[in-house]
Chains A and B, each alone.
Chain A
Amino acid sequence: MAIPRQEMPAQDPLERIQNFKEVNLGYTPELAIKEAMRCIQCKDPVCIKGCPVNIKIDEFIDLVANGDFTGAARKIKEDNVLPAICGRVCPQEDQCEKECILGKKHKPVAIGHLERFVADYERESGNVAVPHVKPATGRKIAVIGSGPAGLSCANDLAQFGHKVVVFEALHELGGVLMYGVPEFRLPKEIVRTEIEGLKSMGVEFQTDVVVGRSVTIDELMEEEGFDAVFIGVGAGLPWFMGIPGENLVGVLSANEFLTRVNLMKAYDFPESDTPVFDCKGKNVAVFGGGNTAMDAVRTAKRLGAEHAYIVYRRSEAEMPARIEEIHHAKEEGIEFLLLNNPVEFVGNDQQWLTGVKLVKMELGEPDDSGRRRPVAVEGSEYILPIDMAVISIGNGSNPLIGQTTPDIEFSKRDTIVVDINTMATSKENVYAGGDIVTGGATVILAMGAGRTAAKAIHEKLMGESHGFDEW
């Protein structure tokens, strides 16, 4: 290749562990054009099939190569409402970029970096177009949850001309984008701006409403006149490990740690009122190997942890976290304790955590997931002194919707059962998508599910009054 893949400029590791500012600095227009020119404009662009919302990747990259960044942003927005977010947090190496033909012999086109660049360019230019909205249909749809699934569903429904009200339990919109993904990976201002776009299309947002407690799905449909409901409440119930000592002071779920820091801005304490465990000079261990674990451990480092460990029971090859995140974590001095499994937390007389008993593991035969199963090495236990433990081994479903809407069918894994073509649940006119259906997955998959549901809801609602609207 004449042109190598253009790397994304980033903050220096030693500098960035002192702050919560974004690590990746984004392409310059020159870098973007250079990278876009690497795209060979395949006749049958397989990259598009790798994208869960099927962005017209070849077309937008062609516009970038020609310097029409605003045009490129609008091309993406035909299929993706949150490009500045997806360009940052999608695992492109497993999606669009995995399919890129160039990747066979060279490095794939940096589709994610380019998506991010054009979205940032459009936003910073101040010239953000409001998507076209069809005439009002008179139909009213409730979207429960303002995470990626709910936002993309709300967007498409609004464009079809429906009245959309999004209900959010927290005081801020965005779901995991606000409370989970840290500022240094996804600045919150970007999330707010992308959501502003939906408001300008007429989508109404109600925060501080916990569906299941503040109001039930049946009440929304029977008393508040909603014609259909989309459930996009995610998988937000943290799993704990069930080992001794897990209730010691200083053992937190990643959800709690990240919510305090991201949503409640505890990194700015006492300017912000929410405190977080004082990590300065302490030893912090994060248990798990996913993106959430990387987010948590890098957050602890930024809060001043002396040692910030990732403790993972398999080896690096099995880690579900993005390669880029693992790379960034290593640059920042995160210590990886691979093939180590916690068996017990130990504490002092005041029940404060002082350490964790770890056992070394080795990889055995492949298990159901196809990954080699870790097996404990007998007699290899040792105590690692730690002051805070963050549990990041995954999330389940919050039981509230199921408890209060018994006619929605849930699977044995506590996820909602849907028809995958329409995302329809077992309850009439109620649809669901995102992590509440799949279990913990990605932002872009949730957005894809939101789009599928929006289309199905539209067809169902308008199909029933077939013909009359045209008269």
Chain B
Amino acid sequence: MFTIVSADFLAENIKKFEIEAPRIAKKRKAGQFVMLRATDNGERIPLTIADSDPEKGTITIIAQGAGKTTRELNRLEAGDTISDIVGPLGTPSHIENFGTAVSIGGGVGTAIAYPTAVALKEAGNYVITINGARTKEMVILENEMKSVSDEAYITTDDGSYGFHGFVTQKLQELIDSGKKIDYVLAIGPIPMMKAVADVTRPYGINTVVSLNPIMVDGTGMCGGCRVTVDNEIKFACVDGPEFDAHKVDFTNLNDRNKIYLKEEQSSETEYKHRCNLDTQS
């Protein structure tokens, strides 16, 4: 059992948890994740480690309520427990002083981009962050991102805050302004990561994405998370989750992630129904 130390909403539906997990806190590096099972009948889901405090023995994860498990998770409060958390998993981000590094986070992907942005800054990079959200209320980690950035930009799809448009438009603007960019990290929904890869490809900018396939064990024993990179099969949980964006088959990843759409929807509908019953009684 893993105890939640604190639990706070960062935006509607996006919650940040600090959880006691001393082994993971001690070992984790930027880019790594945990598999989490909230309850005894629960499924295992992957979540990135956003931060850690080795002395306190805690890790931070940020979850967006997107389906049954994450909605259930987001009802937990400080003092509640989580059945299982295993990690740190995955290959840590490859960090070096690239020169100018752009870290792009889309939606809750910002939480995943954050630890790597910190590591890029610590490695001496000139760090530019582009933090994209649908609308103003959905912007997360603005101050955290600013604190590690030499330049920090917020974009909103509806223009309610910061730059009006997509993260890719901001990136294109930076490239067009003649800024020399040596490295781009993009984390967010698959269409966004694919779009970033398309922007940087003609310029040959080293671009890395953190992939989000379906995972079960997260330790390399099932291949549920396999992705096609440079026409080879890779297991994202062991070989990744970060890969060269210009070599990833995003279409295949997108299609593979739809396999349980019907089951996910029925599970969520049932869960919402139960929650409504709870409120009634």
Q: In the bound complex, what is the Cα–Cα distance between A246 and B263 (angstroms)?
A: 23
Do residues B222 and A278 form an inter-chain contact, with CB atoms below 8 A? no
**Chain B CB within 8 A of A169 CB:** yes
Measured CB to CB, the closest approach of chain A to B263, in angstroms, equals: 3
Stretch of A30-38, A55-63, A236-244, A327-335 on the interface side = A236-244
**Do A170 and B259 contact each other (CB < 8 Å), given the known contacts A214-B88, A270-B270, A273-B41?**
no
Do residues B87 and A213 form an inter-chain contact, with CB atoms below 8 A? yes
Measured CB to CB, the closest approach of chain B to A29, in angstroms, equals: 36
Instruction: Pick the contact of A253: B43, B222, B259 (CB < 8 A).
Output: B222
Do residues B86 and A249 form an inter-chain contact, with CB atoms below 8 A? no
List the B side residues contacting A250 at CB < 8 Å.
259
Q: In the bound complex, what is the Cα–Cα distance between A215 and B228 (angstroms)?
A: 29
Best-buried of B217, B226, B228 by chain A (most CB within 10 Å): B217
| Residues 240-295 of A at the B interface (beta carbon under 8 Å) | 240, 242, 246-247, 249-250, 252-253, 255-256, 259-260, 264-265, 269-275, 277-278
Do residues A214 and B221 form an inter-chain contact, with CB atoms below 8 A? no
**Chain A CB within 8 A of B79 CB:** no
Do residues B262 and A278 form an inter-chain contact, with CB atoms below 8 A? yes
**Chain B CB within 8 A of A369 CB:** no
List the A side residues contacting B89 at CB < 8 Å.
210, 213
Do residues B23 and A256 form an inter-chain contact, with CB atoms below 8 A? no
Measured CB to CB, the closest approach of chain A to B63, in angstroms, equals: 15
**Chain B CB within 8 A of A209 CB:** yes
**Chain B CB within 8 A of A399 CB:** yes
Measured CB to CB, the closest approach of chain B to A215, in angstroms, equals: 6
Q: In the bound complex, what is the Cα–Cα distance between A272 and B37 (angstroms)?
A: 12
Measured CB to CB, the closest approach of chain B to A338, in angstroms, equals: 26
Measured CB to CB, the closest approach of chain B to A188, in angstroms, equals: 13
Chain A's interface: helix, strand, loop or mixed, by majority? Answer: loop
Q: In the bound complex, what is the Cα–Cα distance between A259 and B222 (angstroms)?
A: 8
Do residues B256 and A171 form an inter-chain contact, with CB atoms below 8 A? no
**Do A255 and B228 contact each other (CB < 8 Å), given the known contacts A247-B256, A264-B43, A273-B68?**
no
List the B side residues contacting A278 at CB < 8 Å.
262-263
**Chain A CB within 8 A of B83 CB:** yes
| Residues 97-139 of A at the B interface (beta carbon under 8 Å) | none
List the A side residues contacting B41 at CB < 8 Å.
265, 271-273
Measured CB to CB, the closest approach of chain B to A11, in angstroms, equals: 26
Q: In the bound complex, what is the Cα–Cα distance between A398 and B223 (angstroms)?
A: 12
**Chain B CB within 8 A of A350 CB:** yes
List the B side residues contacting A171 at CB < 8 Å.
37, 44, 83-84, 86
Measured CB to CB, the closest approach of chain B to A413, in angstroms, equals: 17
**Chain A CB within 8 A of B165 CB:** no
Q: Mark A190-214, 1 if CB is under 8 A from B, else 0.
A: 0000000000000000011110011
Q: Which residue of B lies closest to A180 (CB)?
A: B221
**Chain B CB within 8 A of A400 CB:** yes
List the A side residues contacting B223 at CB < 8 Å.
238, 240, 252-253, 255-256
Do residues A273 and B233 form an inter-chain contact, with CB atoms below 8 A? no
**Chain B CB within 8 A of A351 CB:** yes
Q: Mark A421-465, 1 if CB is under 8 A from B, else 0.
A: 000000000000000000000000000000000000000000000
Best-buried of B23, B251, B264 by chain A (most CB within 10 Å): B23
Measured CB to CB, the closest approach of chain A to B24, in angstroms, equals: 7
Instruction: Pick the contact of B84: A208, A246, A252 (CB < 8 A).
Output: A208
Q: In the bound complex, what is the Cα–Cα distance between A247 and B222 (angstroms)?
A: 13
Q: In the bound complex, what is the Cα–Cα distance between A400 and B252 (angstroms)?
A: 27
**Chain A CB within 8 A of B162 CB:** no
Interface residues on A, range: 35 or more
Q: Mark B213-256, 1 if CB is under 8 A from A, else 0.
A: 00011011111101110000100001000000000010110011
Do residues A274 and B44 form an inter-chain contact, with CB atoms below 8 A? yes
Instruction: Pick the contact of B221: A208, A259, A265, A274 (CB < 8 A).
Output: A259
Measured CB to CB, the closest approach of chain B to A3, in angstroms, equals: 45
Do residues B86 and A210 form an inter-chain contact, with CB atoms below 8 A? yes
| Residues 258-272 of B at the A interface (beta carbon under 8 Å) | 258-260, 262-264, 266-267, 270
Instruction: Pick the contact of A215: B23, B219, B252, B263 (CB < 8 A).
Output: B23
List the A side residues contacting B256 at CB < 8 Å.
247, 249, 351
Q: In the bound complex, what is the Cα–Cα distance between A210 and B226 (angstroms)?
A: 20
Do residues B266 and A237 form an inter-chain contact, with CB atoms below 8 A? no
Q: Which residue of B lies closest to A397 (CB)?
A: B220
Q: In the bound complex, what is the Cα–Cα distance between A316 and B88 (angstroms)?
A: 44
Best-buried of A210, A215, A400 by chain B (most CB within 10 Å): A210
**Chain A CB within 8 A of B69 CB:** yes
**Do A214 and B24 contact each other (CB < 8 Å), given the known contacts A171-B84, A253-B223, A264-B43?**
yes
Q: In the bound complex, what is the Cα–Cα distance between A236 and B223 (angstroms)?
A: 10
List the A side residues contacting B84 at CB < 8 Å.
171, 207-208
Measured CB to CB, the closest approach of chain A to B114, in angstroms, equals: 21
Q: Which residue of B lies closest to A237 (CB)?
A: B220
Q: Which residue of A lies closest to B39 (CB)?
A: A273
Q: In the bound complex, what is the Cα–Cα distance between A277 and B256 (angstroms)?
A: 12
Q: In the bound complex, what is the Cα–Cα distance between A213 and B37 (angstroms)?
A: 18
Q: In the bound complex, what is the Cα–Cα distance between A275 and B262 (angstroms)?
A: 10
24 sample A-B contacts, Cβ–Cβ < 8 Å, listed by A number = A170-B86, A170-B219, A171-B44, A171-B84, A210-B86, A237-B220, A237-B221, A247-B233, A252-B223, A253-B224, A256-B222, A256-B224, A259-B217, A260-B216, A270-B266, A270-B270, A273-B42, A273-B267, A278-B263, A351-B255, A351-B256, A398-B221, A399-B238, A400-B238
Chain A residues with a Cβ under 8 A of chain B: 169-171, 207-210, 213-215, 236-238, 240, 242, 246-247, 249-250, 252-253, 255-256, 259-260, 264-265, 269-275, 277-278, 350-352, 398-400
Chain B residues with a Cβ under 8 A of chain A: 23-24, 27, 37, 41-44, 68-69, 83-89, 216-217, 219-224, 226-228, 233, 238, 249, 251-252, 255-256, 258-260, 262-264, 266-267, 270
A-B pairs with the 9 shortest C-beta distances?
A275-B263, A256-B222, A273-B43, A236-B221, A351-B255, A208-B86, A274-B43, A171-B84, A275-B260
